[in-house]
Amino acid sequence: MRYGTPLRFFILLLLTLRTGIAFPQFIDLSKSQIFSPTDKGTLHRSIEILQNEVEKRTGIKLPVSKKLPKSGHVILIALESELGKLPNSYKSAVATLPDTKNEGFKLIAGPSNHVVIIGKDARGILYGVGRFLRKAEMSRGKLQVDDRLAISTSPKYPMRGHQLGYRPKTNAYDAFTVAGFDQYIRELALFGANTIEILPPRTDDDVTSRHMKIPAAQMIVEQSRICKSYGLDVSIWYPNMGKNYVHPDSISKELAERDQVFARLPRLDGVFVPAGDPGELEPDVLFAWLEKEAAVLRKYHPNAKIWVSPQVFRPTQKWFDAFFSHANKEYPWFGGVVFGPWVKIPAQKIRQILKPTIPIRHYPDITHNYSAQYPVPHWDLAWAMTLGRESINPRPFDEKAIHNALDEYGIGSVSYSEGTNDDVNKFVWSDQDWDPEMSVMETLRDYSRLFWGPEYQEAGAQAIMDLEKNWRGEVLTNEGIDLTLRQWQLMEKNAPLKLLQNARFQMGLIRAYFDAYTRQRLVYETELEQKARRALAAAAAMGAIKAIREAENTLQKAWKEPILPDYQQKCHDLADSLYKSIGAQLTIKKHGAMSGRGNFIDLINMPLNDAPYLLDQFKRIEKLASEAEMLREIDQLLHRTDPGPGGFYDHFGDPESWYRVVPNLSWEEDPGSLQSPRIGFGVGLVGEEWVDEIQATGFKGQVTPRAWMKQAKTLYDQPLKIRYDHLDPDATYRIRISYTGRFRSRMRMTTDDGQTIHDFIQTGEQPTFEFNVPKAATSDGKVTFEWTCGEGERGSQVTEIWLMKQ
């Protein structure tokens, strides 16, 4: 039965009276005009944004009126200072909303099919237009807003931005066109961003890539111009890449380069110079150089400041003392201190060290999954091996928790990003810098509504949230991963072609398929390994060689009889599409990615069980001279982790053993684990500081057990403590330890009662060590082992412990 409009209204009214629930009514703005008494110079491109973004989604071109229409049907945009020019009905509506501060706005819908956007200043207008677009329901031929729309809001923090570096190392930005950057910067501004950070042509990267449409020196000028046209701030991350910052000739060369870069940029408000990674300098040399750089900067941009991070891989207390001594001198060119990756001192401690007048800017790493400032807590090894360090990584709830743990110590943030993989995280972070109380779900609903359409605001928000849930807990037991794919498939099945070709939708969809494929592979390969081990266990009965052959054939089924080829193909197809649309580089060979920089599709079939290690051991065992020797080695292989009667074995990459690790602070209190232990990945190679992929290779290139790829670790000189209880107080113990991981630090091991197990030893040369445990250390039936590393080291790492009763 179809009801006419009056009857529908009566039914809604009756339901409202009987239930107390106010059902939303919508104001039709499809025939509206735009009116603004504000001059074009102040508006920048706000009206253009409104017209363009509405027309893209609805086909409606909103006209601009020179006079305020008397009949309503208007979107009125003005500065707060211009309220006196408006009719009383508009002024009184706006007056009901709370006052705003710098960059704030008021947004209210009225009964005569009108919307009023009042900005405290020019940026307030931009952000008011952005919030209107976020809340509007737009589809073909339709533009409407909830008639209850009434918002008055101002940003809590004055700095809210993101780094968009045009360089080969990124996973997409180097493929962007000028128009692509314009649109992306615009979209970030719609969610409150006011700063964009660019990179100079010379960094710790290649000069160009096959993806670049124009040279980097030209693109950064365009990025600066775009920001100026929107009224946004521009910062440039400018590392010290020179070899000498003391010799006059070297300094002259470096200054000449900066003169050329600064002179060409239409707008520049700040320069961020990392103290290290790359370009490590001693603080006295660093600040002397920065003073010279500041003179060049202010020649072209008089109000620009230089910001510095105390970022250094192998810090000493002497280095920090000198750094903060300079930072507190309040040089006229000094903007403040940046808290970012590889800054050893917690933000709250830096705030205590600095004078209150010296601001801190956050530089959060929202782009990496591990070996990062804020790694995914207790990430499963299967994800680390396949998705890698820089995959598509929506972490909306993690990002809010990270932000809100530390935001009070700074004036806002400019995020560290290496491409489009962290797209969702950018929008969440901007909203949190604007209002730390904002619900993550509100951001995700706005994101889905604006970029996918109003019919997907709830399903899309939930689907993005579910991708983050995929990463909670162990992959093997997380059945929700398959349900997440189901949610995405339902949207995919009913989606129009335009949405199916939408890059943001495809980024979520490829993750849903990849995650489900990885989980099913892990289940399959775990079963194959168990079957292979059962064959080896029967070696005494069937013969060593026959058992090895049977185990070998079983393990090889993982790639000879693969599962779910349609899921794998779907991921490849989506990767191709993302490359064509936004230049996302998800493979090295086909899409031109850099190794370890977002090429997770290359890792889609990385072995997830212990097959590489077992197959390598089979080759060794087969070369032995006798059946008895082979059987003995097979038995040792099967029982590698056996600590013997009354003993204990723990792998600290496994959740089952993590309870022994002394936590100190919770993740919510210390998401960067500067004062608490975290999980680490990678075996570590002799002579290699960095390895792009997590795989079963380590030390001098040998194949290693799967367990060695994940360990417990702490950063810098923070102690790593592991507790054992329920020991036999009358027994003597010997401890075997596997030290793996990329740090390869010099470490010392002691007990809680001051006994030394071993003094400083260099790890990374061999995996396993054995030591006697003093009987006095375990005489009360418990012991806490403690590891510390020397000053200037990266941190302590412990992978396995066998506590063996003698």
Q: pLDDT confidence of 312, banded at 50, 70, 90? A: confident
147 has pLDDT over 90: yes
Listed residue (412, 508, 510) closest to 194, CA to CA = 412
pLDDT tens column, 81-113: 999 999 998 999 999 999 999 999 999 998 788
- Specify the pLDDT at position 111: 79
Alpha carbons 300 and 236: distance in angstroms, whole number: 14
Average pLDDT over residues 184-206: 95
Cβ-proximal residues to 349 (8 Å cutoff; 6+ apart), any chain = none
117 has pLDDT over 90: yes
13 vs 52, higher pLDDT: 52
- Specify the pLDDT at position 254: 96
pLDDT tens column, 233-273: 999 999 999 999 999 999 999 999 999 999 999 999 999 99
Average pLDDT over residues 445-466: 98
Q: pLDDT confidence of 23, banded at 50, 70, 90? A: low
Are the C-beta atoms of 481 and 489 separated by less than 8 Å? no
Alpha carbons 698 and 711: distance in angstroms, whole number: 14
DSSP 47-58: HHHHHHHHHHHH
pLDDT tens column, 396-442: 999 999 999 999 999 999 999 999 999 999 999 999 999 999 999 99
322 has pLDDT over 80: yes
Backbone angles phi, psi at 247, to 5 degrees: -70, 135
Listed residue (760, 750, 738) closest to 783, CA to CA = 750
One-letter-per-residue 3-state SS of 92-122:
HHHHCCCCCCCCCEEEEEECCCEEEEEECCH
pTM: 0.94
pLDDT tens column, 565-602: 999 999 999 999 999 999 999 999 999 999 889 999 99
Q: How is residue 587 written in tokens?
A: 């493979």
pLDDT tens column, 511-546: 999 999 999 999 999 999 999 999 999 999 999 999
Q: How is residue 13 written in tokens?
A: 């009214």
Average pLDDT over residues 25-41: 94
3-state secondary structure of 193: coil
Listed residue (101, 120, 121, 159) closest to 305, CA to CA = 159
Strands lying side by side in the sheet with 26-28: 26-28, 142-146, 137-139
- Specify the pLDDT at position 558: 98
Backbone angles phi, psi at 543, to 5 degrees: 105, 145
**Tokens 């498939």 appear where?**
489
2 has pLDDT over 70: no
Q: Is the peptide bond before 278 cis (omega within 30 degrees of 0)?
A: yes
| β-bridge partners, 143 | 138
Please report, as a single letter, which amino acid is at residue 302. P
Average pLDDT over residues 602-619: 97
What is the percentage of the chain residues whose pLDDT exceeds 90?
A: 89
Average pLDDT over residues 173-186: 97
**83-95: b (≥16 Cβ within 10 Å) or e:** beebeeebeebbe
**Tokens 């649309």 appear where?**
581
Query: 3-state DSSP: the chain helix, strand, coil percent, rounded to 5?
Result: 45, 20, 40
Alpha carbons 119 and 106: distance in angstroms, whole number: 6
Q: How is residue 416 written in tokens?
A: 């560290």
The one-character DSSP state at 168 is T
**Tokens 């197990």 appear where?**
757
- Specify the pLDDT at position 316: 87
- Specify the pLDDT at position 315: 78
3-state secondary structure of 580: helix
Average pLDDT over residues 41-46: 92
1 has pLDDT over 90: no
Alpha carbons 796 and 757: distance in angstroms, whole number: 15
DSSP 768-782: EEEEEEPGGGGTTS-
- Specify the pLDDT at position 22: 55
The one-character DSSP state at 661 is B
| β-bridge partners, 751 | 785
CA 238 to chain centroid: 21
Alpha carbons 557 and 532: distance in angstroms, whole number: 11
Are the C-beta atoms of 552 and 145 separated by less than 8 Å? no
Alpha carbons 133 and 139: distance in angstroms, whole number: 12
Instruction: State the alpha helices, DSSP H only, in 495-564.
Output: 497-500, 503-537, 539-542, 544-560
| β-bridge partners, 721 | 786
DSSP 597-613: SS-GGGGTT---SSHHH
- Specify the pLDDT at position 698: 83
Are the C-beta atoms of 728 and 648 separated by less than 8 Å? no
- Specify the pLDDT at position 15: 43
Average pLDDT over residues 498-503: 97
Q: Characterise 750 by phi-psi region: left (phi > 0), alpha (psi -120 to 50), beta (else).
A: beta
CB neighbourhood size of 303 (10 A): 8
CB neighbourhood size of 760 (10 A): 14
Are the C-beta atoms of 239 and 203 separated by less than 8 Å? yes
Number of Cα atoms under 13 Å in the Cβ half of residue 4: 2
Alpha carbons 740 and 799: distance in angstroms, whole number: 6
690 has pLDDT over 80: no
- Specify the pLDDT at position 70: 84
Please report, as a single letter, which amino acid is at residue 655. P
**Tokens 């604006």 appear where?**
450
Residues listed for the chain: 806
Q: pLDDT confidence of 277, banded at 50, 70, 90? A: confident
- On average, the pLDDT of the chain sits at 94
348 vs 11, higher pLDDT: 348
Alpha carbons 398 and 390: distance in angstroms, whole number: 16
Are the C-beta atoms of 194 and 446 separated by less than 8 Å? no
Q: How is residue 525 written in tokens?
A: 């390969």
Angle at 629 between CA 625 and CA 635, to 5 degrees: 145
Are the C-beta atoms of 224 and 198 separated by less than 8 Å? yes
686 has pLDDT over 90: no
Alpha carbons 128 and 105: distance in angstroms, whole number: 5
729 has pLDDT over 90: yes
- Specify the pLDDT at position 12: 41
**Beta-strand (E) ranges in 275-416?**
305-309, 334-339, 360-362, 412-415
Q: pLDDT confidence of 689, banded at 50, 70, 90? A: low
Are the C-beta atoms of 217 and 258 separated by less than 8 Å? no
Are the C-beta atoms of 163 and 414 separated by less than 8 Å? yes
- Name the CA dihedral angle for 425, 426, 427, 432, rounded to a multiple of 10 degrees: 90
Q: How is residue 559 written in tokens?
A: 């790639």
Listed residue (166, 161, 74, 69) closest to 116, CA to CA = 74
Are the C-beta atoms of 296 and 324 separated by less than 8 Å? no
Angle at 652 between CA 648 and CA 655, to 5 degrees: 100
Are the C-beta atoms of 756 and 709 separated by less than 8 Å? no
pLDDT tens column, 350-370: 999 999 999 999 999 999 999
